[in-house]
Chain A
Amino acid sequence: MSNQQKHWEKTRGLLFITLAIWFVFSIGIFLFGAEMNEVTGPFGYPWTYWFTCQGSLGAFVILIFWFANRQEKIDEEFGFSEREDE
């Protein structure tokens, strides 16, 4: 397998992990919205309410930065990161 194929394989792997986490916070937890809202969560808000106002939103912000860093590492590993002068 060529260098580029390996790079793409890893990139795709990262995509699947990223989308899986994204799925949990955007869709997965809301399948159990009613049950989860019975329980008190962070700062005393009900769990589901907290996720819709802050939790999921914050998770997305962190997820994107995490993804960007991981992807940079993958690009570096296979020598595909950009040079500064490009």
Chain B
Amino acid sequence: MKGNFIDNLPKVYGIYTGGFIGFIIIMAIAEQMGMTAKAIGIAFVAFTVFIYALIGWLSRTAQADAYYVAGRQVPTVFNGMATAADWMSGASFVAMAGGIYFKGYGYMALLVGWTGGYVLVASLLAPYLRKFGCYTVPDFIGTRYGGNLARFSAVVVLTVASFTYVTAQINATGTIASVALDIPFQYAVYVGLISILLCSMLGGMRGVTWTQVAQYIVLIIAYLLPVFWISNKMGAGFFPHFMLADEVARIGELEQQFGFVKNAAADLKSVPKGLAGITKAHSAVNATPWAFISLALAMMMGTASLPHVMMRYFTTPSVKAARKSVGWSLFFIFLLYSSAPMLATLSKLSLIDPNLPTGIIGKTFAEVEAIDWYQNWNQANLMFISDFNGNGTLELNEFFMGGKAVVLATPEIAGLPYVISGLVAAGGMAAAMSTADGLILAIANAISHDVYYKIIDPKAETAKRLLVARVLLVVIGFAGATIAAMEIQGILGSVIWAFDFAMSGLFFPLVLGVWWKRANRQGAIAGMLGGLIAGAWYLVWVRTGGSGFLGITQLTFGIFGSAVSFVLMVVVSLMTAEPDKATQKMVDDVRVPSGKTILGKSH
């Protein structure tokens, strides 16, 4: 190929996408010729992970700016795809449709929150941080406010938030690897971890960028193909997003007809852990305005504070490109998020509508227990039925399912070939790996660049810095995997906590650093540490039986944390001296796109 790699990107990824579709077709033919389901699953995961590792190896580098910010030459659209993969985690891919399936409207606050946050990223932060020219988020805090303590506080907040998040992602890679490769979870976690490290260790941000683009392509095909296929197969409409109004209305009708019968506590004890029944209306408004808005708001402010997302915009060639790139990121995220409610609708209707051949509600228990897919997913501990009222037919309140099953099992329930299930496994793996990569890199880079290079040993040579960065990557990865292997908390809960931690400690110090010239070091430190401590305290208080206030729950504790952070930051800043002339000049320079970056190309 002629020309350099960047100019050839559309061609390279075009060939890659064609190759991947070719692979799906070959697998489909192999299935017809008698390839077993297990072999197909292994082939999908092994093939895609091999490609990512190859990209990771090809992107190896020994330069600091390539390792930390991919050489600042990632074009807008491709950075958008990489950010979308970075953003959409195993939770978005595997758990989101399930959450909507069970909780309906109240849960969809997450859809609004996880997209609306990008407006804040684009307008308040990304272009200014790009102009700043930093390698990491604490790099901005440390330079804008000055001093090692401010820098170190930012590293602490970043580590708490990102580490909470990353264990969930390694957990998700482990879950998928254990199902697809049929090995125990404790080992699968480490298989997942090694795959993750293969992408990031040699090339740093450059390796992660180009693997994330590849992972986005896999995950979006794996999500959209089944949604369209199922919708067409059910006769619900060839373009589900615009055509499922009747299905949504029909679910409402069935809910009325069946009613939401509350199960006795004793009956619920027999249901395996992690499975749930349908207890909330699908499309009706089932949450108070504040419950909805507070969750959406917490997720939006968290989005604008999560360092692994912010650092993706450090890789664009210009400030202008950073802004546009946020738009593309959200567009690529929108493609998946707007499909999740459609998948939840199709999945729910195909299970509960007695008029459909796949519907199981109203059938006898013997009939349901004879269905192949029910047996498979019951064995995988993701489906469960129990005749509480003893009438022999299955009622809505007697059917239980795991949240993951909505994405993982619906293709099989709808009667799609197994090749689709293999594809979905590869997609889930891609989603979890890409997010884990971004997070581990964010933590390792912050510690290697901000703590080791900026605070401990400012004279270190590039080779030594990058060695430290890589060692940290492995150490943090293993620490995350070890905690993930203990399976302390669910995937989704810890993801939401990560957002709350990030917004508690970082939202206002970042935003005010650009938008309020008077903000100073003392204020920022008080804001970061005070916010983080206040948020963490509220979480512990509510978890240990505290009643909470203003309707702030353990999922939205960031609202309290960031409010404390804001007040502390403003009060302490005003009580102490204003920043010096040089710092004020720095803020002025950040506010205009033209001119040199604040920090040099290599620093």
B318 CB-CB contact with A under 8 Å: yes
- Which of A32, A45, A48, A56 is the one whose CB lies under 8 Å from B116? A56
Nearest chain A residue, comparing its CB with the CB of B341: A53
Contact: B293 with A72, CB < 8 Å?
no
In the bound complex, how far is the Cα of B325 from the Cα of A61, in angstroms?
11
Contact: A65 with B324, CB < 8 Å?
yes
In the bound complex, how far is the Cα of B592 from the Cα of A83, in angstroms?
12
Residues of A contacting B108 in the complex (Cβ-Cβ under 8 angstroms):
52-53
Contact: A44 with B245, CB < 8 Å?
yes
Nearest chain A residue, comparing its CB with the CB of B245: A44
Chain A interface size range: 35 or more
The 8 A CB mask of B432-449 against A (1 = contact, 0 = none) is 000000000000000000
Q: A57-B334, A67-B323 are in contact. Are A45 and B248 (CB under 8 A)?
A: yes
Contact: B245 with A30, CB < 8 Å?
no
Contact: B122 with A48, CB < 8 Å?
no
The 8 A CB mask of A53-65 against B (1 = contact, 0 = none) is 1101110110111
Report B109 CB to chain A, min CB distance, Å: 8
A39 CB-CB contact with B under 8 Å: no
Among the 9-residue stretches B257-265, B282-290, B306-314, the one with 4 or more Cβ atoms under 8 Å from chain A is B282-290
Q: A30-B289, A43-B245, A81-B320 are in contact. Are A52 and B105 (CB under 8 A)?
A: yes
Chain A residues touching B, majority SS: helix
Residues of A contacting B124 in the complex (Cβ-Cβ under 8 angstroms):
15
- Which of A4, A33, A63, A80 is the one whose CB lies under 8 Å from B289? A33
Report B163 CB to chain A, min CB distance, Å: 28
Residues of A contacting B338 in the complex (Cβ-Cβ under 8 angstroms):
53-54, 57-58
Contact: A44 with B246, CB < 8 Å?
yes
Contact: B116 with A60, CB < 8 Å?
yes
In the bound complex, how far is the Cα of B594 from the Cα of A82, in angstroms?
4
Residues of B contacting A51 in the complex (Cβ-Cβ under 8 angstroms):
112
What are 19 A-B residue pairs whose CB atoms fall within 8 Å in the complex?
A8-B591, A15-B124, A19-B119, A27-B293, A27-B297, A30-B293, A31-B293, A43-B243, A49-B105, A52-B108, A53-B342, A56-B115, A58-B338, A61-B334, A64-B118, A67-B119, A68-B320, A80-B594, A82-B320
* Chain B interface residues (CB < 8 Å from chain A): 105, 108-109, 111-113, 115-116, 118-120, 122-124, 127, 241-246, 248-249, 283-285, 287, 289, 292-293, 296-297, 300, 318-320, 323-324, 326-327, 330-331, 334, 337-338, 341-342, 588, 591-596
